Amino acid sequence: DAGVTQSPTHLIKTRGQQVTLRCSPKSGHDTVSWYQQALGQGPQFIFQYYEEEERQRGNFPDRFSGHQFPNYSSELNVNALLLGDSALYLCASSLARGIRDTEAFFGQGTRLTVV
Amino acid sequence: AQSVAQPEDQVNVAEGNPLTVKCTYSVSGNPYLFWYVQYPNRGLQFLLKYITGDNLVKGSYGFEAEFNKSQTSFHLKKPSALVSDSALYFCAVRDPLYGGATNKLIFGTGTLLAVQP
């Protein structure tokens, strides 16, 4: 059973460019969340997708956007990249079951470096 | 606002000794608490969670955590540390804003556990 997979694993972009990161959730999971982990920090919630809609959003600008596809996979898009966007981007999947929903399983992350 | 605090940036322990990694929380309502571990250049791995029930929660790799409501703490423990336990440990709380639906996690800043042989 494949866990959460993310691609690419590493990425280098130039300031001002746009980037798309991809995530395939664990088999059977229907909810995808994205987190940004800056060096030396804990992960910060960006947003969450459920039933192809953004369900919750953290304190991130509109430059950060996403999408969820019918097969539950997801993309994170970041426009007009800034140096401060350099971080490890983590995707987490879970299964929504109301109060007893499952814990989140994380992918290996995509290391984004903006130069 | 919901939050967790990990007061120690680093914990050093000798192999074979018991270890404790501290976490305190601040939430409104019932807390849903988690511990995750992160090895270098890897994602987060789930260790254990507290939703309700027994205050002592057992998890993966011999780890356990004790929920203490009066002290608003959720410390991670292991009776005998291994060198391979050396990693970054994160405490997290689920933000209950959306009721029972799957919610976002709010993480602490992490504690680096170093186990010396």
**What are the tens digits of pLDDT across the range A73-97?**
999 999 999 999 999 999 999 887 6
> How far is it, in rounded angstroms, from Cα B102 to Cα A102?
8
Measured CA angle at B84 (ends B81, B88), to 5 deg: 90
**DSSP labels, chain B:** --EEE---SEEEEETTS-EEE--EEE-SSS--EEEEEE-TT--EEEEEEESSS-SEEE-GGG-EEEEETTTTEEEEEESS--GGG-EEEEEEEE-GGGTTS---EEE---EEEEEE-
* pLDDT value of position B94: 86
Which stretches of chain B sit within 8 Å of chain A by CB?
Answer: 34, 36, 41-46, 49, 51, 90, 92, 95, 97-110
Instruction: Give the model's pLDDT for residue B97.
Output: 60
Q: Which two tokens stand for residue A31?
A: 């909810």
- What would the mean pLDDT of A48-77 be, rounded to a whole number? 94
Nearest to A106 among B44, B49, B104 (CB): B44
Query: Could you give the percent of chain A with pLDDT greater than 70?
Result: 94
Give average pLDDT by consecutive 10-residue segment, chain B, 117 residues: 92 98 90 92 89 89 95 97 97 72 82 97
